[in-house]
Structure 1
């Protein structure tokens, strides 16, 4: 018989990475979680044990009476669980065969396989968390630095939720006044109501703009900052990549044009996650292979969030150097004067003035001033935010897009008020902004959006 998937089924999945390890965890959630596990568990009667207890025993195959594994079973009853449903977690030995065998037994005794992200989706559907907190769960899993983890933890605690709810309440209070004015016009004046609508719109716009200023930092923490290492051949790009990654990822020689393709590596620099791209030297060349590398370097430059532009400090600027300085003028960049150990011909202060960029003189070979470079990267992106203990960061494009949409709707309210549009018409945009902010937290999100968001989660989460 084909099983119908419903939100009321008891679901099961492996919640730890598949492979060899100390333990694996098989998780169940749903009304029948405890009875299902009790059918294959030899030990205490799990239907009678207290909630939030860990119980020793064995998993057996009821048909063959074969012992599958020695386990510890955690029983957590609703509503004090992550999903607000009964949850059971089986801690078994961390082998692929034994973990899958236990999962198959559970599926054969009444559970169904969980969809990707379904545990977290149930937490959302049951009011345990909102959409921003659900997204933070995945951010914690994917965090590449301690700072990224800290920001995700704040989101999970409801940092962004609190701010969004406060803005929605501010709008809602005004909408209530508008309704009173529409229903009982003798108790209020249109001009007073219109001023209230414009005033609350300006107030909420200011709060939205403050959140939007954190978007680049939040996205960088979440996804890693695309960082292109740019420069002429043999200027030290690969040496810089090797230093930042603390490994020999790139071949370093005295021969110009050694790097023929872009190399990528994720690193953490002072809490800033960087997706480093070591590019081929950008120059005119007749070599077909090197020419392809140069084109890829130019593409990496276009897509970069941050540019580390290396120049040879032991020589005067060449026309090719000038072209690279011009090509990166509209990018966030740090200019690195490398090879100072060979003598410094370029003037650091003069270059800072002419390029309006941070300039750091260094010898990558001698590892001089590289800590200063790391500090500059951190300062460039997290000045005033990195050290804040209560800052809430917007961490993904879904949130950014909805905040921008709400801001536009509120700006339309102000324009309409100034044009003396009737309040019941202006109310439409104000109500739209209230709904849009609700989409961020999931309070007014369509089912399709919710399903799409949770489908990006891993199984067992």
Structure 2
């Protein structure tokens, strides 16, 4: 989608997932949407789409204009500009969800004058037509991809303007501040009084605090959008696969008494207090005895490196070994939780012993979170999940409406850029630097925030954002 300007094209796309279903929806948007639909839809009662009020539906048939034959029966809805998803005239055809009927209806719409929509073009038009800002547009995709109820709530909060409403007052204040400082450039004889300069610096300080608070929420907010990647690691036969099965409450991984049963990583998603967690069960780490096992171990090491959190599993009913030491060294520098498994048996060592081993192996004198569990009986699993959640979230539980939670890395980058520019402006004012420099930094902050809401955009940014959408959205 190289051209970010609005065009006069009428676009069409399938808005329902691919495959067979009860209903399939073909969406048409643009100035000629109604005429395009008229050419391929016939009402038994002779109802004309052009005369239908907005937000009404009509029953009829999809017709091939060339062959004059019926393709499917359908319900057609009309939503007129500007009160539609794209703020243009929109027609949606609800036909039966077969592969042939939906694709044929789309083909007929294209033959009737529409063109195939690019990925995300419907939502891009909503943005370019001013119905939503860029942060809200991105939230549409987050809602579609939400893995938990909490993820969906946070995305819906952003779609409703949660992040934008936090940023807008700062943008308004910055605009006023820019005008005030730039007035001094045009009228240098009217110097800013020291009291006013102090007030400006206080306002900047308040804005920096607000921006940094938003930025810091990304440290846990991103996991609601991306999922928390968690690797389960340990030597063979300590109960990694049993732990995964117990957390999932179903037999996903093969469990046998034989070492090296797991030869590849197995990834599954679980929901912990609304936090989507991607659990990766890894092959037991040891000296591989054959090629397949060695490859599995190599993938385990890669999973550790890629994970945001590592659950390191030990068998508490057997003596600590050099292989266990190797596991600790392999996870050095990672954010880890230690799970001592088989707590239903006679334990050979206690938590203090593991803490000492961890610090010796990693040369790290940090707090170690340890949970005693039994993957077989389920004891300690709730504690493990609560420990994981509180460890990642820092004890906070974000609620929609209680303040914006930043879940998008692009937004965090822009917030940090704006805060940095504001701190530079504050230093300029404090050092009595030329107002031109202060004005530049304030403008940099304004431009950075504009990249979040879309008041400042480039074609590259829009293409990158909307290319992740499906065609019908």
* TM-score, length of structure 1 as denominator length: 0.93
Q: Does 1:369 align with 2:380?
A: yes
The Cα offsets for residues 224-264 of structure 1, whole Å up to 9 and x where unpaired, read as: 11111011111011111222233322211111122122222
Q: CA deviation at 1:80?
A: 0.8
**How far off is 1:52 after superposition?**
0.5
Deviations 1:420-453 (A, max 9, x none): 3112212101111111110111101112211221
SS of residue in 2 equivalent to 1:250:
coil
**Aligned partners of 2:192 and 2:136: how far apart in 1?**
41
The answer (yes or no) to whether the contact 1:227–1:277 under 8 Å persists in 2 is: yes
Q: What corresponds to 2:62 in structure 1?
A: 59
CA shift in 2, pair 1:326/1:417, >3 Å? farther
1:116 maps to: 119
Aligned residue pairs total 457
Change (3 A) 1:195 1:328: farther
| Counterpart residue number, 2:237 | 234
Q: Distance in 1 between matches of 2:39 and 2:88?
A: 19
| Pairing 1:39-118 to 2, within 5 Å after superposition | 39-43=39-43, 44-118=47-121
Query: For the Cα contact (< 8 Å) 1:9–1:112, is it kept in 2?
Result: yes
Distance 1:32 1:388 in 2: 39
Residue 167 (structure 1) aligns with: 170
* CA–CA distance in structure 2, aligned partners of residues 77 and 389 of structure 1: 31
From 119, 137, 140, the counterpart of 1:137: 140
Q: CA RMSD in A?
A: 2.1
1:383-402 per-residue CA deviation (whole Å, 9 max, x = no partner) reads: 22335642322112211221
Gaps of 5+ in 1: none
1:145-184 per-residue CA deviation (whole Å, 9 max, x = no partner) reads: 1111001000000001111112211222211211232333
Q: Secondary structure at the match of 1:31?
A: coil
Question: Using a 3 Å threshold, how does the CA distance of structure 1 residues 387 and 80 change in structure 2: closer, same or farther?
Answer: closer
Deviations 1:260-313 (A, max 9, x none): 222222332332112221111122345343233222212211221011111111
Determine whether 1:201 maps to 2:213: no
The CA deviation at 1:194 is 4.5
Q: Give, in whole Å, the separation in 1 of the partners of 2:184 and 2:198.
A: 13
Alignment CA distance shift 1:455-1:72 (3 Å): same
Q: Secondary structure at the match of 1:26?
A: strand
**Comparing 365-374 with 313-322, which one deviates more in the overlay?**
313-322
- The whole-number CA distance in structure 1 between the counterparts of 2:338 and 2:224 is 23
TM-score of the two chains, using structure 2 as the length reference: 0.91
Matching of residue 431 in structure 1 with residue 434 in structure 2: no
Structure 2 unaligned segments of length 5 or more: list them. 360-365
Cα distance 1:119–1:213, how it changes in 2: closer, same or farther (>3 A)? same
Pairs within 5 Å for 1:315-334: 315-334=318-337
